[in-house]
Amino acid sequence: MYTRRDRMFIAFLVVPSFILLGAVVLYPFIYNLILSFGNMNLTRIRDWQIIGIRQYVKILTEPMQPGFYDIFFKTIIWTVVNVVFHVTLGVFLALLLNQKVRGKSIYRTLLIIPWAIPQYIVALTWRGMFNYEYGAINLILTKYLSLPAVEWLKSPTEAFIACILTNIWLGFPFMMVVALGALQSIPQELYEAADIDGATWYHKLTKVTIPLIRPVMVPAITLGMIWTFNSLNIIWLVTNTGEPSDKTHILVSFVYKAAFNFYNFSQAAALSIFIFLILLTFSLIFMRRSKATEAAY
Amino acid sequence: MRLVAFAACVTVALGIAGCGPGTDDAHRVVIWHQMRPDERDVLQRQIDRYMSTHPGVTVVQVYKETETLRSGYIIGSIAGQGPDMVYGPSDPIGVYEATKTIRPMEDLFTRDYLADFDSSGQVWYKGHLYMLADKIGNHLALVYNKKYVARPPTTDRELITLCQQIQNRYGYTAGRPNVYGLAWNYTEPFFFIPFFTGFGGWIFGPDGVTPTLDTPAMIQALRYVRDLRDVYKIIPGESDYEIADALFKDGKTAMLINGDWSWAGYREKGMDIGVAPLPLIVETGRWCAPMTSPKGYSINVNVPPAKMALVLDVLKYLLSEQNQLETTRALNTAPTRRSVYQNPDVRNDEILMNSLLQIQRGRPMPVVPEMRAIWDAMRPSYQAVMGGTERPEQAAKDMQSLAERKIRDMME
């Protein structure tokens, strides 16, 4: 039983965290919510007013450049493709590294490098590599693979693919490290028992490995989804702020542009609320469906 | 009980650290700018000299990327913070004025003091002086490598012929010229303006705020720039600022369209360069006219009256004749003080004289907030034309409608 004095002490220890969270999470969130119902833009930055749900209606019904639904669709593609590749590549490489391989630590270090390099350096390096005439990618395609050069950064689709390729390269090490940790925690006896039962490689993967790494991978995938959905740097830097023609934006990059390039703060706030609702819904459904919180054993 | 008190103190301290206002140091002057490294070096030398003669005063320069500078300054200033002075080109003055983040400066200077400044170095907007510049221009011109070009072209036809001659002289590898005739950043509409004006176009109508982008001049200019790449094949297939700059530095393009901010860097690299005004478009008989704008200092609206004398002293020092001359010698930029032009070093500088000729042929960049909408409306369609996904006629229409919508959004 806690005494009144203990409870007071606990409360005072917790209060700073609450104040900090309130200042850096709750207050900005509520302010953003209020802003999304207002008309704060360049000309009304000091005397903005509440105008109701007009920003939301405008986003959903009025044509924008680029259109909201286009950006939303691109964001879904961006997130799903990236995370699928991150997880597939990450788990595949983790399975390889979990074997008895010579020079395992060297491979592991090399594979973690993309994750260790600052994102903006990765993005700008890849941007240079995607140059039509002088970039390494086209030089490899034309010189060594006898394929035609691709105009990576000039056309919207190719530019978007370029961003995805960069982000895949950047993101798989995280999943690999998580999966490797999960694999190493699986008791060897389970595989030995499976061997005795005559299980094939495929059976061991689907009946032992995947179920046992799931509790670790599901939160990692959820985080990966949220991070990728909210990943501004790669799109912003590889395509130089959404080029060409603002056709490579995902939701967060467009929010950033709306707020800090167009000074349309209320529109950006309304878009941010959409992003929040999408991610909240996804996280709740994904966590519930995947039963991530249930024990594996 | 002591622990409870400690926790309470931590709470209060964290609260103060997290939410409290920044310190207002009466002897510390902060300047935000978007200067390149060589400009920063010159500024730092000047700041160091000031601080050595003013013990107890600290002047700090902080670099920020152009967009970050603008948005960060506006947000900081609205929150009652931000630097004491903000330095940059004049185009965001309209935005700063609309957000009431800079203060009028006409009450801070005497007429005699301002009389020595060229009128283009004083940015007046809506009847108030909002910027005092130390450089004028910030403009594009034709930079050429004397290794390839003996005499710069004066017309667009001469330019095309010269480029083709150079490309043929140095041959091709895998269908690509070993040395391109010309390069520039053709992803940014700022670099497109000289062609637009060369065909008789301008971004605003007579009232200075109504976009005039859907015009025959725009269509012709878009077609012309695209043809330079696809028909005359004298510019690279893809070229942003970094690529164009690197090609010129590596000797892989004979000529470059770039701004006065870049020329000193090429000379420092040991390149033998010349600067010439952009050519005349023979078809229209008009010069390609780049936008020009002064670069200078504005004062944050939040500078307290008690600190204004110090800020003003620093500003006057930075704008002094001696410092402008030093900047001009180091960076080849055009000064704003008339007296500096009497100096033989300035009068005999070939690059600077050609630069001044280009400024005379240029058009001042409007400082109205609508300018932002123009750039944002031009960029997507201009890039689409260069990317081959839109026709010039449609691009002109799209630019106009987008500019109108963005201005409407901005003003609603």
Question: Nearest residue of A to residue B406 by CA position?
Answer: A262
CA distance B361 to B280: 11
Residue B392 exposed, middle or buried by CB count within 10 Å (0-12, 13-18, 19+): buried
Q: Does domain B140-289+369-411 have CATH number 3.30.1330.20?
A: no
Q: How many CB atoms lie within 10 A of CB A228?
A: 21
Residue A295 exposed, middle or buried by CB count within 10 Å (0-12, 13-18, 19+): exposed
Whether A24 sits inside 8 A of B387 (CB atoms) is no
DSSP β-bridge partners for residue B31: B61, B85
CA atoms within 13 A of residue A196's CA, in its CB half-sphere: 6
CA distance A132 to A152: 7
What the block records as the tokens of B185 is 């950043």
Average pLDDT for consecutive 10-residue bins of chain A (297 residues)?
87 93 95 95 88 92 82 95 96 92 87 89 93 88 89 89 96 94 92 92 92 91 92 92 86 91 90 93 83 58
Q: Cβ contacts of residue B364 below 8 Å, gap of 6+?
A: B120, B291, B292, B293
Q: Judge whether B322 is closer than 8 Å to chain A, CB to CB.
A: no
Chain B nearest CA to A134, separation (Å): 9
Q: Cβ contacts of residue A1 below 8 Å, gap of 6+?
A: none
Tens of pLDDT, residues B119-132: 999 999 999 999 99
CA atoms within 13 A of residue B41's CA, in its CB half-sphere: 6
Whether A45 sits inside 8 A of B8 (CB atoms) is no
Residue A33 exposed, middle or buried by CB count within 10 Å (0-12, 13-18, 19+): middle
What the block records as the tokens of B125 is 């907007």
Among the partner residues A12, A134, A244, nearest to B387 by beta-carbon distance: A244
Phi and psi, residue B275, nearest 5°: -125, 130
The answer to whether B85 touches B297, Cβ cutoff 8 Å, is yes
Q: Cβ contacts of residue B123 below 8 Å, gap of 6+?
A: B90, B93, B129, B130, B131, B132, B133, B294, B296, B367
Q: Which helix (H) or strand (E) holds B299?
A: strand B295-299
pLDDT at res. B21 = 34
Whether A43 sits inside 8 A of B7 (CB atoms) is no
Q: What are the pLDDT tens digits along chain B (412 aa)?
A: 444 444 444 444 434 443 333 335 889 999 999 998 989 999 999 999 999 999 999 999 999 988 889 989 999 999 999 999 999 999 999 999 999 999 999 999 999 999 999 999 999 999 999 999 999 988 999 999 999 999 999 999 999 999 999 999 999 988 889 999 999 999 899 999 999 999 999 999 999 999 999 999 999 999 999 999 999 999 998 888 989 999 999 999 999 999 998 998 898 899 999 999 999 999 999 999 999 999 999 999 999 999 999 999 999 999 999 999 999 999 888 999 999 988 998 888 889 999 999 999 999 999 998 998 899 899 888 988 998 889 999 999 999 998 998 888 777 6
Interface of A with B (CB under 8 A): 8-9, 12-13, 15-16, 19-20, 23-24, 39, 41-43, 45-46, 65, 128, 131-134, 142, 151, 153-156, 240, 243-247, 259-264, 267
Chain B nearest CA to A41, separation (Å): 6
- What residue ranges do the domains of chain B occupy? 2-137+293-364, 140-289+369-411
What the block records as the tokens of B312 is 């003003």
Closest CA to A259 of A33, A42, A34: A42
Cβ-based contacts of A155 with chain B (< 8 Å):
387-389
Chain B nearest CA to A132, separation (Å): 6
Residue A47 carries which DSSP code?
S
Question: Nearest residue of A to residue B401 by CA position?
Answer: A65
Decide if the complex's ipTM is over 0.90: no
The answer to whether B125 touches B97, Cβ cutoff 8 Å, is yes
DSSP β-bridge partners for residue B281: B286
- The CATH H-level superfamily of B2-137+293-364 is Periplasmic binding protein-like II (3.40.190.10)
Tens of pLDDT, residues B323-352: 999 999 998 889 999 999 889 988 888 899
**B296 three-class SS:** strand
CA–CA–CA angle A28, A65, B257 (5° rounding): 105
Which residue in the block uniquely carries the two structure tokens 């028992």?
Answer: A193
Question: What pTM, to 2 d.p., does this model score?
Answer: 0.80
**B124 three-class SS:** strand
Cβ-based contacts of B102 with chain A (< 8 Å):
none
Tens of pLDDT, residues B180-193: 999 999 989 999 99
Q: Does domain A73-249 have CATH number 1.10.3720.10?
A: yes
Q: Which helix (H) or strand (E) holds B177?
A: strand B176-177
Domains B2-137+293-364 and B140-289+369-411 share a fold: yes
**B156 three-class SS:** helix
**B365 three-class SS:** coil
